[in-house]
Amino acid sequence: MWEVKVERALTADERWDLVDKITKEVVKVGAYKPGLRDALASLTVNPWTGIPFAIAVLYGFWTFFGEFAGLFTDGFFVRIFGTHWIPWLSGALEGLPDWLFTILVGDRAVFAEDFVGDPCFAAGGVLTTGLFMPFAVVLWAVIALFLVLAILEDTGYLPRLAVLVDTVLHKIGLHGFAIVPTLVSLGCNVPGVTATRLLETRKQRFMMIALLGVFVPCGAQIGMMEELIPGLIGWVFLTLAIGYLGFGWVLNKIWPGESPEILMDVPPYRAPQWSNILRKTWSRTRHFLMVAVPFVLLGCAIVMVLYATGAMDTIASGLEGFLAAVFGVPADATASLVVGFLRKDLAIGLLPIDAMTNYQVFISVILLTIYFPCLATFAMLLRELNWKEILATLGFLIVTIFVFGGILHLIGLAGGWY
């Protein structure tokens, strides 16, 4: 323990002399010998080696994501719901009035002997499709995503990824930290919006929230895409990434405010602690279930009420010409666009894929992603943004839908893909 008695104020030179004296006594200086962790740390922040490494990490994640989710969904729950639960439920509730049977179970035509298709998605009822989608499809995709995200956090790779993408994101007024809410939003947009508090300025937070609400699909949507349109999901993500960067650049030019440089501490690589990883994964998954499942059930109920009362046919007839002219979307997809306000994953599951061309499915999925934040995310926008920013976000969303969707429609017409 050093004890220094000072009878007068030290000059600057005397203070530094005292610091040097203490340092020589307590600091041991030796030759620095970089190890494997140091070499890996340098390689993963250097663009020439870090970008291929990041691509390899994302490829590994996507492979694990597909295999893990597919194992539980196709391997177990499609059989449980399609072979056992849904047929049993339809028989047990056969005596209900048509309108109540439609809401709880689904269209009776799905259970006819000549029906060809997957009853898990086609039924549409609250107790059939409403339970199948969150617990049999979405849950396992979300668990896979949150598990990988927790591993990347615990090992110390996320800060290095932030450094790596800083140059690109700074071109659109953000910085490397923006990768954190972006990745979190791939699990659920609600915590992703909360994670924007990491960003320093009001401009960056507004821009990030606007881009998350429009161009970043949540884990529930990704799970539905992986299950229903695995061949198109790469094109969907490429298109959304182009929109994310392009519209982000426009927002940066027109929205006032500052975009400071990144300043962050990059920790050393560490072996992950599985107790931490499991705790983070469980906490985030539980939050997702509490937020998502009620809205999925509510969305199913609303859609089936619209079908049971004939209101959906009226809405489809009114919007058919508009949707076809502006976006090239058939009237059968109207139900999905209506329910997209409640849950986008449910909306994707309700798309009549068998009655649409690949390009119509592609445009419909893009529209549902950029369409409107789900109610849970919109509630977060009300908490995080002021009235001016909320109006600007809604205006940005409307412009994006018509500009981006219209451009994709014109590309489809020019390419003859309808």
Q: Give residue for tokens 């998502």.
A: 292
Is 276 part of a structural domain of the chain?
no
Is 174 part of a structural domain of the chain?
yes
How would you class 44 by CB atoms within 10 Å of its CB: exposed for 0-12, middle for 13-18, buried for 19 or more?
buried
Is 15 part of a structural domain of the chain?
no
Report pTM: 0.76
The phi and psi torsions of 106 (rounded to 5 degrees) equal 135, -170
Is 36 part of a structural domain of the chain?
no
Q: What is the DSSP letter of 197?
A: G
The pLDDT of residue 401: 87
Domain total in the chain: 1
Domain membership of residue 154 as a residue range: 43-259+283-415
How many angstroms separate the CA atoms of 375 and 381, rounded? 10
Is 17 part of a structural domain of the chain?
no
Is 243 part of a structural domain of the chain?
yes
Beta-carbon contacts of 418 under 8 Å, excluding residues fewer than 6 positions away, are 328, 357, 359, 360, 412
Is 1 part of a structural domain of the chain?
no
Low-confidence residues of the chain: pLDDT under 70: 1-8, 31-32, 113-117, 339, 341-343, 375-376
Q: Are 230 and 115 in contact (CB under 8 A)?
A: no
Q: Among candidates 384, 43, 382, which has minimal Cα distance to 181?
A: 384
> For residue 278, how many C-alpha atoms fall within 13 Å in the half-sphere facing its CB?
3
The pLDDT of residue 114: 62
Q: Give per-residue pLDDT as tens, 125-151.
A: 889 988 888 888 878 888 888 898 889
Q: What does the block give as tokens for 391?
A: 């109006």
Beta-carbon contacts of 72 under 8 Å, excluding residues fewer than 6 positions away, are 136, 140
Is 167 part of a structural domain of the chain?
yes
Q: Are 360 and 334 in contact (CB under 8 A)?
A: no
| H helix count then E strand count, the chain | 22, 0
Say whether 106 sits in a helix, a strand or coil: strand
The phi and psi torsions of 124 (rounded to 5 degrees) equal 85, -10
